[in-house]
Structure 1
Amino acid sequence: MKRDLSRRGIILPKDLLAVLLRLVLTAGVLFSGLASAADSSRVLFRLTGSNTVGADLAPALVKDYLKSLGATEIRQRTEGEKHWIHADLEGEQVVVPIIALGSSTGFKALDSDTADIGMASRRIKGKEVELLARFGDFTSAQAEHVIGLDALVITVHKDNPINRLTLAQLAQIYSGEIRNWSQLGGPDLPIRPLHRDIESGTRATFDSEVFGSTRPAKPFVYEVSGNHETRALVEQDRAAIGYLPFADSDGMHKVAIKSGELAAVVPDRGIIATEDFPLTRRLYLYRNPGRFNAQVDAFLKFVESPAGQKIVEAIGFINLTPVSLKLPAYANAPDSYRQLMENGSRLSISFRFADGSTELDNRALRDLHRLQEFMAQEENRDLSLTLVGFSDRKSNQNIADLISRFRALKVQGALLRDHQMGDSQIMAVGAFAPLTADSEQGPVKNSRVEVWIN
């Protein structure tokens, strides 16, 4: 060491060299000790994926889950989008790491076995299902867990007079067919569309609902790194338009969105809960169906329980606990449905079906249990249920009526067979009041069974 330094004209006394050597060795021991301290905490499970889920919701759920286990000294350490929840559990130090860098990263982490749970603000894609097929079926109820609901709120600068847009107009803005606010009755300003990064589940939801599939951003579209940047740019720039999760949209100028035969609406908790709002999305946790982990199973059950769902609501998302809603009647509704709307209340549960299937989807399977628990409550035992079936847009009305009746019967049969709930009526309304218009590119959403109570 001395010889190398002397070549640069630096000569160190032997005593100073000895001091430096001791410092290096001491530092090595310290770093080793720190690493050992970190390694001594047992990892219960690891979460990776969506920032929408991982920023606030996942840490809150993990903390309350640890409390339910009797853990003490629960604390959080955060570095950017990475969080570590530490606790003392039965005399042992444990930790749950949470890495929130986008929904796509969650599925990549499941593939590389660097996560036990993938967080997503959109449903798993076909190519990801194929990637993970060696572990099992990630579209199964064992793997896929819907934990709450959110909606994308379209927002513009507070001085922008635009208050209403259709889904078709949103598509024209982001594809470049509409480039100036004056084309929509606003100021003579070039529109500045803001789009999330390609890893984002929030962006995937927007693309799916507006365009029908993910697509590259146009050169004039500005890609933002996260929801905080979207909010800041919309607040500063009179020409900007962007989208934010419902929980992050307070205080912003929100634009009402029209789709199908629905009136143009700014999303509220009720219309998000029913999933009727066109930009509604589900929040997911995915686990490896081929690998048993007791802590992962227990955590997922906690998240889906009433206690976990209260946390989902407290963070600002919409939970899955059934509530009754009073909704305005459609002017052109069939007589039987109009009477139901006037005299009854709709539950926030809407049973939906797996893509291209006659089987209920994974959320619906768990909603059967939630409906059973709702009806078992003392104040609800005298209520009667009406299950209203809807079909997709069809040219043949007779086929549409048959499909909607089949769907209502499917839910009624599941309630009777598996949940001993036989007191329900059915109603079929065909393709009435589609939630998306024929001209729109997003997914058809009319295939559902609504739950009404009298």
Structure 2
Amino acid sequence: MIMAYLEAKGAKNVRIVPLDADNEKLVKGDFPSLGKTVEVAIAAHGSSTGFKSLMNGKADIWASSRSVKEKEVLAAKGFSDLEDPESEHVLGIDGLAIVVNPRNNVTQLSKEQLGLIYSGQVSNWSELGGPDMTISLFARDENSGTWDSFKNMVLGKQFQLSGSAQRFESSENLVRNVLQNEGGIGFIGMAFVGKSKLLAISDGPAQAFKPSQLTVATEDYALSRRLFFYTHGQPSNEYVTEFMRFAQGINGQSIVRNEGFISQNVESMDASLADDMPADYVEMVKGAKRLSVNFRFQEGSAQLDNKALKDIQRLAFYMREQMPNSKLLLIGFGDKRKNEHRSKLLSKLRAMAVKRELSRLGIYPQKTTGYGDFNPVASFEGASKIKNRRVEVWLR
């Protein structure tokens, strides 16, 4: 991303210069007209160390594969609000891929089963319908945002990582070990799957999905996660601000996709429907395309979250520039409430909130409706239930 940004600025001879320390490098670009060379230092030691570098002034941008922790928000209070839209920037979406050896015949697991596996309570694949073979656990190391995501999404407070798990700083090394061990299982970002075998994952009553462009882009996949840039509010350095804008723009998001992650550029896709969807829902979306964006909301609030605020802009641009004669359908969903009518009402209100924001930009959806707790994408219990509070976008 940095290399593409420098080239877009007119830099010549843009190159990577490795440093002595592992996972550290310089990106250099020459600007002959200015008679100088620009250097950008990159240190990839995990999300937690990135936060420390932002706090001690060694970094302008903290790149993280997890959202900011509450204790980090509190630690940064004297500098900025890291949860504010000017501080928190979603770079792209990644699916936390669960991979096994290609010779393993297991095809899907639930989050509960993953927790049992990684805590050592299930230790043989035969207990999961697979071969009579010991499970070998491979995990990322403590400084990895991938580990933080797995710990939060899978282990939670219910499970503890088994002491038998082998830890890796590098996703590439982890995959290499899975390929060499028929009983191996590991978790990595989608960009590192390689020749390993992807498993479909379910959460509670939700359908099991493999990570794909649609399931990850909409964050319907059980182990989807956002990739972040954090700054201390609006950066004082104009080049940092410009780079952030480039990274989240159309060209920057195309680079995100080319690197194996999921971009936030809006696209229309064919989508299969679950067999038990209501007849009126099926009729409403018949012949329509699903858009690669779901709108989600701040926890405990009806307000759009930071990603959704920018997605409103992306969707409005997409409709104006590429689909000016098409119609939008906004369909809200939610979690369980004591009263089914209230659940449906809240889901429709969420769809109306998205409609209101789009209308301010001159985009007027054809229809908004809500289906309450129908068709969940996550469990109705625990922290993941917030994923059910979403608005799907369809295009006809």
TM-score by length of 2: 0.94
State the partner residue of 1:432: 374
Q: State how far apart, in whole Å, the 2-side matches of 1:220 and 1:394 are.
A: 41
Q: State how far apart, in whole Å, the 2-side matches of 1:396 and 1:297 are.
A: 46
Match of 1:451 among 385, 389, 393: 393
Q: State how far apart, in whole Å, the 2-side matches of 1:398 and 1:128 are.
A: 39
Q: Structure 1 pair 339/291, CA: closer, same or farther in 2 (3 Å)?
A: same
1:414 aligns with 2:354: no
Question: Residue by residue, what CA displacement relative to the aligned partner does 1:38-73 show, whole Å, maximum 9, x if unpaired?
Answer: xxxxxxxxxxxxxxxxxxxxxxx1111111111112
Q: CA RMSD in A?
A: 1.8
Structure 1 unpaired stretches of 5+? 1-60
Match of 2:109 among 146, 165, 176: 165
Query: Shift of the alpha carbon at 1:161?
Result: 1.7
Q: State how far apart, in whole Å, the 2-side matches of 1:259 and 1:288 are.
A: 35
Question: Residue by residue, what CA displacement relative to the aligned partner does 1:131-171 show, whole Å, maximum 9, x if unpaired?
Answer: 11111110011001101111111111222221221111111
Q: State how far apart, in whole Å, the 2-side matches of 1:397 and 1:207 are.
A: 33
Which amino acid in 1 is paired with 2:379? Answer: A
8 Å contact 1:145–1:284 — kept in the other structure? yes
Match of 1:344 among 279, 282, 288: 288
8 Å contact 1:157–1:234 — kept in the other structure? yes
> Mapping of 1:50-449 within 5 angstroms?
61-79=1-19, 80-89=22-31, 90-212=34-156, 217-289=161-233, 291-377=235-321, 379-417=322-360, 419-438=361-380, 442-449=384-391
Which amino acid in 2 is paired with 1:84? Answer: L
Q: State how far apart, in whole Å, the 1-side matches of 2:289 and 2:85 are.
A: 29
Q: Structure 1 pair 409/376, CA: closer, same or farther in 2 (3 Å)?
A: same
Q: Which moved more, 1:335-344 or 1:201-210?
A: 335-344
Query: Shift of the alpha carbon at 1:293?
Result: 1.4
Q: State how far apart, in whole Å, the 1-side matches of 2:385 and 2:160 are.
A: 19
| Moved >6 Å (runs of 4+) | none
Query: What's the secondary structure of 2:387's corresponding residue?
Result: coil
Q: State how far apart, in whole Å, the 1-side matches of 2:124 and 2:159 are.
A: 22
Query: Shift of the alpha carbon at 1:434?
Result: 1.0
Q: 1 or 2, which has the higher helix percentage?
A: 1
State the partner residue of 1:42: none
Query: Shift of the alpha carbon at 1:290?
Result: 6.2
8 Å contact 1:211–1:441 — kept in the other structure? no
Which amino acid in 2 is paired with 1:339? Answer: E
Query: Shift of the alpha carbon at 1:216?
Result: 5.1
Q: Which moved more, 1:293-302 or 1:247-256?
A: 247-256
Which protein shows a greater Rg? 1
Q: Structure 1 pair 441/62, CA: closer, same or farther in 2 (3 Å)?
A: closer
Query: What's the secondary structure of 1:371's corresponding residue?
Result: helix
Query: Shift of the alpha carbon at 1:227?
Result: 0.4
How many residue pairs get aligned? The number is 392
Query: What's the secondary structure of 2:109's corresponding residue?
Result: strand
8 Å contact 1:212–1:442 — kept in the other structure? no
Query: What's the secondary structure of 1:189's corresponding residue?
Result: coil
Question: Residue by residue, what CA displacement relative to the aligned partner does 1:94-139 show, whole Å, maximum 9, x if unpaired?
Answer: 1000000001111111111110000001111101111111111100
Which amino acid in 2 is paired with 1:427? Answer: T
Q: Identity of counterpart residues, as a percentage? A: 35
TM-score by length of 1: 0.83
Q: Structure 1 pair 348/232, CA: closer, same or farther in 2 (3 Å)?
A: same
Q: State how far apart, in whole Å, the 2-side matches of 1:290 and 1:412 are.
A: 28
